[in-house]
Amino acid sequence: MVFLCVLLAGASVGAPAGDSDSDIESGAALKLTVRKFFAAPGGAQQGIATDGTHVFVQSTFVLVKYDMTGAELARTSKLEWHHGGITYHDGKVYAAASECCKKGTKVHLVCVYDAETLEKVAEHDIGEHFTVCAGGIAYYDGHFYVAESYFDDEHNDYIVEFDPAFNRVASYTLDFKCPYGIQGLDYIPQLKKFMVNSHGREFYLVDTSLDSGTVEPGLAPFNLQDVAYLNPATLLLNQRDSREVAFVSLGK
């Protein structure tokens, strides 16, 4: 069972999480405290990633780097394409980027940024594998997983697995319809599952096989965006509407 206990915005990390009417059911015990991190102007807060020391927050068109107190350390200038979910791996931040067109587009990319400077260092074209908007990205066991976002709630969730050079390995269609598709995902080692977030309150945990039969749905007390694994005790969640980062305690 997942328990999401939300404290008031601005509460410090490690503050006790009291009883809450926000408890939800899923596969592990999670408790939330909230500390404010604000993405740069230019779009809604979208992605989140961490190297364990810093927090990277992606707005629609700007990537920002913070320390763990919320102090801003660096930011990019306005980016060319719509950027959604992000993930950190081996000194770099990987962003799912797209033209993000309701009628469909072949402009879908993974943009790669140096985690120290936020300078763009690479770009991978994944346009042949997506139709509307490459919206979320995660790294697990040597491979990258990129998920699709939509402009409606009628599409089954869709994730593509890539090797490190972004050659397609496999595609997965899950029997679940995240509102507006998948916005964020990350692998949670303590649960041995991916956490998959929608643009709304819905999320789910799913086995690394990405088999629909392993989907375990949950409901957060706020609208979500991306998720990032910080350490064995803590996850980071974007709160879509308040543009805050929730520190989520893992444990029963």
Whole-model pTM? 0.87
Report the 10 Å Cβ neighbour count for 172.
Answer: 17
Q: Which tens digit of pLDDT belongs to each residue from 96-148?
A: 999 988 888 999 999 999 999 999 999 999 999 999 989 999 999 999 999 99
* pLDDT attached to residue 243: 77
Query: What does the H/E/C string look like for 116-148?
Result: CCCCEEEEEECHHHCCCEEEEEEEECCEEEEEE
Q: Which tens digit of pLDDT belongs to each residue from 13-26?
A: 332 233 333 444 44
Rounded mean pLDDT of 216-240?
87
- On the question of pLDDT at 55 being above 90, the answer is yes
* pLDDT attached to residue 140: 98
* Domain covering 35-250: architecture: 7 Propeller (2.130)
Question: What is the total residue count of the chain?
Answer: 252
104, 132 contact by CB (below 8 A): yes
